[in-house]
Structure 1
Amino acid sequence: MSSLRMPAWLVRLSDVPYRRLPAGDNGNTSGRRKQRGVLAVGTAMICCLALLLLRHPSGPSAIADYAYPPSRTTTVTTPPAGGEGLETLQARAVALFDALEARPILEYAESLKQESEPGRCAETWRQSNRDMLRNEGANVWPKMTPDVLEEARRDIINRVKERFGWQAGGRPKGVRELEEMLGEKGRRGIVATAGNQDTGRRLLTTIRILRKHHKCTLPIEVWGFPDELANLGAVRSEIDTLAGEVSWRTVEIEKRQGKWKQFHIKGEVLARSSFSELLYLDSDSIPLTDPAFLFDSATFKQNGAVFWADFNRDPPANPIWRMIGNLHCTPARAWQVETGQVLIDKRARGGLNLVALEIARAMQDDEEFWFRLSGGDKDTFRYALYFLSLPYSMAPHYPSSLGSTPPPGFEGHRFCGHTMLHYGLEPGLEWARLRAQPEWADAAFLKPEEEQHAPPLFVHANVLKHSGYNNRRGDTFLQLKKPVDDRLFHPGTAQSAREAPLSAIRQIGYSHRGICVDIWDSRAHNGAGEQDQGYREGAYEEGNVEVVDWRTAFGGIFAGFEDMYYDEGGVAGAW
């Protein structure tokens, strides 16, 4: 979640000088390619081979529905991840890099015109991060010349090639080394990070709930900087006493001094995890059931990469569209992702998912540039897959805001959210699974519309730590606010039709009890419109949104979550 009206990064990234090309480099990509001589012919042949190997199973329609699986029941065969598959990884990845570098980068005005055409992203700026639009969008993006963007793109490619030993004169990783980078084949687990005591306590609550209540037996890796892990003390000791395998691992990257959050740690731990199939969880992202079933879902097996949507979309002016070159901005492709949870198989597509993680890792290492395009680490993972022209799967529902009701009349808002509620992937299978568990037998009493909706899966209390001094047991998790139709896409309809229900949804963080998060329908008659404050009370509740009692929603099967949260050490306002 990225569009709170607050000092979002606490450091004005727009004040940091952006990269410029070295003196004497005119940025002529085609000229540099000519200097490769006879290697150009070989590169072209490899490129053609890679395109054949990587052709998306859904055929030509994959571009139109990019980032959405064409079917949630289709089994997709991916290239092998071991043996001969790994021996071809370098050729396929380098061919994709060469194809990326060969794409021209447009000037700002020309690109903005193209990406704002009908059927593309003419309106997505209305759902974009407002702080980013006011800062980077107004002051930085228009000044990013093709030379600047080309250098940044080339730098990422060179970093990743160096990581694998694929640069000129480098020593390519052997199969054994690649196997280690890809993680143990078939080994699944949860990856998390722990920093200060507050983060550690939140992670302890999450692991307690996973182990004691959900009976989750997945192994867990907890990563952190050496000094932070050493200072966790009793928190670390208690995590070690819980049932199940837990390993502690230290990152090798340097801590960024003076930063309010170490955003770059996430790419490091996903790339270096010993698991080949992993579910990353933020310390405050709490599963509502054992999440192990996700690894066997058709949605995950399709691309080996699943993300959950954020509230916002990228605007057409974002320079990422200029850098990708072959994938235009569309309403579907522009959805930002919220990486409080990430599901990925590093071995999928013959190891190319690992290459994508290394791209994201390199982007996060150069945050002074890349975080101007992405609000922190989150969308670097999505951009990395775009760099390789690889599709990914999105969970099918827009997130809900979970919280309670503030005193009447606060800036016109009746709802104060502090937690993102994310949903599962495949409604029928997941409800059947829940009904099979005795403690959730009430799932049989779903309303018809709830039966068609994937069940709640992750409670990501990412703002509760900023808005908790008035939140206590009994008044924390009371209501959820959501679009009436919260599907990200409608199968079998045109893209414009399936996007219509959500195109008017707006989101804002406003100052009350710390920070509150609200969503509303900007097109509702007499509603709040495009503005984010100052409307009459009730204006934000009109139109295609609803406020639902969390204690009775979905058959009431999650009504006990708040007590469980506090019983297991959950806190509000800890940071």
Structure 2
Amino acid sequence: MRSQTRLVTAAVVFTFLVLSFLRLKGHQIPDYLPQEAHDYFHPGERPLQTPGQPPAQQPAPKPDSTSNVAPTVIAATPTQSLPFAEASSSDPPKTELDHLLQKFLGLPILSYPESVAANSKLCPTDGINYDRNAIEGNVDNWPNIDSTQIAQWRHSIVAHMRLKQKEEQEKAPSGDVKGGRGIVMAAGDFQATIRARTNIRFLESYNSTLPVEIFHFADELSKTDQKLLEDLSRLEQNNKTGMKVTLRLVEGVQKGQGWKQFQIKGAAIQQSSFNEILYLDTDSYLLRNPDYIFESKQWNDTGLLLWPDYTKSHPTNPLWRLLGQPCRNEFEGESGQIFISRTLHQDLMWLVEYFALYHEEYYGFMGGDRDSFRAAALLLGKKWAGPGRINAAAGIGNVEDASGGGHTMLQADPEGKWMFVHANLVKHAHFGKPLWSRIQRVAQDKFAPGTTYGNIDPPNDKVGDGVKLHVSSTPRMSTTMTAFEGYEESVFVIEDWNMYEELRDFEQKWFGFGGVH
């Protein structure tokens, strides 16, 4: 009898070990990553780290005679400002988010040399317009982000997400129910408030009935500012379309000292009263009523629409080590306009807000807030849709250089028709009239039929190759589009602004609605 008991016990222990091993192996690659990512996670078949334990020592990068990168990895100093907590993998996941976060903690942390070697095969740099200022400015910094720092960031993210989920689950029912559709803007300074007024007048002209919430800092209200904001509030009373405009103080965020107030955007979206949200930078002007986007297939399929920037992902970016995912050969995100469903993506909004609160840690490799939404979507395994073509650069035609003088991002809708005039550089310099006369765009700028930004299947991964967009600060901040060496000049085209029906009369309306620069 004792012999039989020993055999049964041994069988149970063996079965437990096998199941534990299979469970561990199952955490190596999350379900939301493509099969091709397997090789990325197994350079040399390094063993998986156990979540909650100190990361295994990573091999030091080899000296490179062509760079100034130090031959050893220096451990990063722990950041005391981050909400750090040990996120144990022993707790069984209770929700889908718990399960995803547990998998996230179990992803291997590649060393800098391993990550660059693997990602360079996926995200080429020859003939690619990447963020050269960020890459060259961090050539000595990013290699020195060691695995301990990456592990701390991951644990801090998971601790924050679990805390937000717990707060949501324990929150007592109240009358403050998020619902309906609406537009959110963040007016971080006086000039932004003026732009918000112009933007609302455009919406009025399209007979939009979507309510608008404008968030601002508490310390922004000088007497002049107060009058302007009161004028915006009165639009509700005078608006024949019934569009409601509400001014709201952003809570829990203080105005910083920088030239951009990144932190207000994530907080404004999170604190808005709407369930289905169109976030607009105050300098991103709609070319028509946006209601139809909320009825589109792309919206119904994803509940998340993002727009691309001019720059593509780079293999040295620490983002890929943080995410534990292979580099995506696609354009980074641009957050001047975002459609997002709170019902489907509340977790993404928590994460974006977290990145904003601790922007000094994360924004250095997210281009500010612009790529934080794409980063959050990737971390959480979210799919998104977007425009049917990449953006164009618009502005004036320089006499000395017809390809220069860009100051505006033109962004399209999912069908490829221009929808947003994101005049992001107009506020930084004075340009003569007409403000908008030329468009510089990639010649083959459309994604494959039936696809949009967010799909990196061939040939979408090649869209934009060969075209360089240089941002100059002298004599004023503007963009110039050229072809990379080895590519024909025909990879980009210059067109007249008025050749597109949706763009005609925009400038006249913009000045008529109070646009200033």
TM-score, normalisation: structure 1? 0.70
1:489-528 to structure 2, matched below 5 A, reads 489=448, 495-523=457-485
The alpha carbon displacement at 1:347 in A equals 0.5
1:555-566 to structure 2, matched below 5 A, reads 556-566=501-511
Contact preservation (8 Å) 2:184, 2:214: yes
Amino acid at match of 2:267: E
The alpha carbon displacement at 1:253 in A equals 2.4
TM-score, normalisation: structure 2? 0.77
Determine whether 1:241 maps to 2:200. no
Cα 1:520–1:125 shift into 2, 3 Å: closer
Cα 1:478–1:62 shift into 2, 3 Å: farther
The alpha carbon displacement at 1:257 in A equals 3.6
Contact preservation (8 Å) 1:194, 1:229: no
Determine whether 1:149 maps to 2:132. no
Following the alignment from structure 1 to structure 2, what is the Cα–Cα distance between the partners of residues 207 and 297? 23
Determine whether 1:419 maps to 2:408. yes
Determine whether 1:480 maps to 2:478. no
1:87-166 to structure 2, matched below 5 A, reads 91-117=95-121, 120-123=122-125, 126-136=128-138, 138-165=139-166
Determine the structure 1 residue equivalent to 2:268: 269
Structure 1 alignment gaps of length 5 or more:
1-39, 65-88, 427-453, 528-541
Determine whether 1:462 maps to 2:390. no
The alpha carbon displacement at 1:513 in A equals 4.7
Determine the structure 2 residue equivalent to 1:196: 189
Following the alignment from structure 1 to structure 2, what is the Cα–Cα distance between the partners of residues 269 and 150? 29
Please list the CA deviations of residues 423-478 of structure 1 after superposition, one character each: whole Å capped at 9, or x if unmatched: 1113xxxxxxxxxxxxxxxxxxxxxxxxxxx221000110001122x324xx2111
2:367 aligns to what SS in structure 1? coil
Amino acid at match of 2:476: G
Following the alignment from structure 1 to structure 2, what is the Cα–Cα distance between the partners of residues 502 and 297? 26
Following the alignment from structure 2 to structure 1, what is the Cα–Cα distance between the partners of residues 355 and 114? 25
Determine the structure 1 residue equivalent to 2:302: 303
Cα 1:277–1:206 shift into 2, 3 Å: same
Please list the CA deviations of residues 134-183 of structure 1 after superposition, one character each: whole Å capped at 9, or x if unmatched: 112x02110001111110111122122222327xxxx9434847x95xx6
Determine whether 1:381 maps to 2:373. yes
Determine the structure 1 residue equivalent to 2:432: 471
2:170 aligns to what SS in structure 1? coil
The alpha carbon displacement at 1:494 in A equals 9.1
Following the alignment from structure 2 to structure 1, what is the Cα–Cα distance between the partners of residues 302 and 450? 18
Please list the CA deviations of residues 471-528 of structure 1 after superposition, one character each: whole Å capped at 9, or x if unmatched: 24xx211111111111244669994434334111211111345111122222566x6x
Following the alignment from structure 1 to structure 2, what is the Cα–Cα distance between the partners of residues 317 and 406? 35
The alpha carbon displacement at 1:255 in A equals 1.9
Amino acid at match of 1:249: R
Determine the structure 2 residue equivalent to 1:250: 249
1:428-439 to structure 2, matched below 5 A, reads none
Following the alignment from structure 1 to structure 2, what is the Cα–Cα distance between the partners of residues 501 and 383? 21
Cα 1:568–1:513 shift into 2, 3 Å: farther
Please list the CA deviations of residues 359-414 of structure 1 after superposition, one character each: whole Å capped at 9, or x if unmatched: 111112111210121111111111111111222213221111110112315xxx64
Cα 1:558–1:162 shift into 2, 3 Å: same
Following the alignment from structure 2 to structure 1, what is the Cα–Cα distance between the partners of residues 287 and 370? 22
Amino acid at match of 1:197: F
Amino acid at match of 1:262: Q
Following the alignment from structure 1 to structure 2, what is the Cα–Cα distance between the partners of residues 92 and 176? 22
1:335-354 to structure 2, matched below 5 A, reads 335-348=331-344, 353-354=345-346
Following the alignment from structure 1 to structure 2, what is the Cα–Cα distance between the partners of residues 520 and 300? 34
Determine whether 1:218 maps to 2:210. yes
Amino acid at match of 2:352: A
Following the alignment from structure 1 to structure 2, what is the Cα–Cα distance between the partners of residues 104 and 366? 24
Following the alignment from structure 2 to structure 1, what is the Cα–Cα distance between the partners of residues 420 and 133? 26
1:514 aligns to what SS in structure 2? coil
Cα 1:144–1:61 shift into 2, 3 Å: closer
Following the alignment from structure 1 to structure 2, what is the Cα–Cα distance between the partners of residues 405 and 122? 32
Following the alignment from structure 1 to structure 2, what is the Cα–Cα distance between the partners of residues 209 and 301? 26
The alpha carbon displacement at 1:330 in A equals 2.8
Following the alignment from structure 2 to structure 1, what is the Cα–Cα distance between the partners of residues 189 and 471? 25
Say how many residue pairs are matched: 434
Following the alignment from structure 1 to structure 2, what is the Cα–Cα distance between the partners of residues 162 and 494? 33
The alpha carbon displacement at 1:241 in A equals 2.3
Following the alignment from structure 1 to structure 2, what is the Cα–Cα distance between the partners of residues 288 and 239? 21
Structure 2 alignment gaps of length 5 or more:
1-18, 39-92
Following the alignment from structure 1 to structure 2, what is the Cα–Cα distance between the partners of residues 229 and 192? 17
Amino acid at match of 2:189: N
Amino acid at match of 1:465: K
The alpha carbon displacement at 1:557 in A equals 4.2
Following the alignment from structure 1 to structure 2, what is the Cα–Cα distance between the partners of residues 477 and 417? 9
The alpha carbon displacement at 1:124 in A equals 7.1
1:233 aligns to what SS in structure 2? helix
Please list the CA deviations of residues 541-569 of structure 1 after superposition, one character each: whole Å capped at 9, or x if unmatched: x2211111111x22x34221111000111
Higher RCO by CA contacts (8 Å cutoff, separation 6 or greater): 1
2:409 aligns to what SS in structure 1? strand
CA RMSD, aligned part only?
A: 3.1
1:334-413 to structure 2, matched below 5 A, reads 335-348=331-344, 353-409=345-401
Following the alignment from structure 1 to structure 2, what is the Cα–Cα distance between the partners of residues 330 and 415? 29
For the pair shown, which has the larger CA radius of gyration, 1 or 2? 2
Amino acid at match of 1:141: W
Cα 1:301–1:142 shift into 2, 3 Å: same
Please list the CA deviations of residues 178-198 of structure 1 after superposition, one character each: whole Å capped at 9, or x if unmatched: x95xx634x000000113221
Contact preservation (8 Å) 1:463, 1:515: yes
Q: Share of identical aligned residues, percent? A: 25
